[in-house]
Amino acid sequence: MTAPAAPLAPGRYTFDTTIPEERLDLAVARLTGRSRTQAATLIATGRVRVDDRAEKASWRLQPGERIAVEIPEPPGREVTPEAIPLTVVFEDEEVVVVDKPAGMVVHPAPGNWSGTLVNALLGRGQALAAAGGAERAGLVHRLDKETSGLLIVAKTDRAHRVLSGALAARTITRRYVALCWGHLDTDQLTVDRSLARDPNDRTRIAVVRDGRQARTDFTRLARFASVDLLRAHLHTGRTHQIRVHLASVGHPVVGDDTYGGGGGRRLLGLPPRRHFLHAAWLIFPHPVSGAPVELRSPLPPDLRAALAAAAEEPTWVARSDLLDYLGVYGGDGPAV
């Protein structure tokens, strides 16, 4: 098993040694997506074995050794329903689709136990699928905190099972709008680079040779003085995928402090900690009928204002059909 792009879920895992002489605690941290302190705790509590024997955190791994790791269930914490307004764009007995605002964390986790999308959904008094546990109830996929747009939540276990399968089979279409610094060499670009946790900074994702396969198609919709407006089509859904793929080709998302795109946010009037990335288009098969459900989310006001600043001729940015006009939902869009 290779290094994950996100912390591994509770369970038992086995890994082959890939870096000779690497310390055991560093290897466990890298392979499980956890901090070095968390890895050391797993070792000290007997949840790590090297070729079926216990070793200290300082043990230097040898070629051919296999590492077995048991990740326990985290201590439970009750998720509190909260009366937080949400923009619901589709809902029936099986599914609810939310247009998530930037700044909202999707699910509770250490440091963000309240104010999340899951807290808000529970505050509506509705049942959610139990899959994923109370903290991730019903979530089929996720959006980063500062990414806005469409997100699917399953209300029943059947819907969660079917939609998760559709996501894995890549029969759910997800298109994003992104503004990146600089200019792509071509109007069409496919980035197919594996991703995993950055071994030097566990809060970041990096292009890693033995990471999880990730592919994004980019289409340039408009070119301005210092930025390109892009349509991004996800073939996989790895953590921070669009942001890391664009940064890896030297064109980070405008406003993305984590991956090098935050320095010039004031030029376009972006709010602090906001990056220009929006999940604008979603098509998924209904988990019961199988009929396609197509949903669209307009560009939020803060991103519309930033686009007007980038364009320097903002009259067309006021169009009510802006994203359709630009070709986000199909076609090549206008020559702007």
Cα 38 from Cα 28, distance rounded (Å): 9
Cα 149 from Cα 102, distance rounded (Å): 8
Long-range contacts of 287-293 (CB under 8 A, 24+ apart): 287/94, 287/95, 287/154, 287/156, 287/158, 287/159, 287/162, 287/163, 287/166, 288/94, 288/158, 288/159, 288/162, 293/90, 293/95, 293/97
Closest to 178 measured CA to CA, from 307, 56, 31: 307
Instruction: For residue 192, indicate whether it is catalytic.
Output: no
Closest to 218 measured CA to CA, from 197, 245, 190: 190
Q: Give exposure, 203-233, as e/b (b: 16+ Cβ within 10 Å).
A: ebbbbbeebbebbbbbbbbbebeebbbbbbb
Cα 109 from Cα 166, distance rounded (Å): 26
**Residue 57 in tokens:** 């955190």
Strand partners, 97: 90, 152
Cα 22 from Cα 19, distance rounded (Å): 6
Overall residue count recorded for the chain in this entry = 336
Closest to 317 measured CA to CA, from 331, 332, 300: 300
- Catalytic, out of 25, 144, 228, 302: 144
Cα 276 from Cα 147, distance rounded (Å): 8
Closest to 151 measured CA to CA, from 281, 251, 332: 281
Closest to 287 measured CA to CA, from 139, 127, 165: 165
Cα 277 from Cα 25, distance rounded (Å): 36
**Residues catalogued as catalytic:** 144
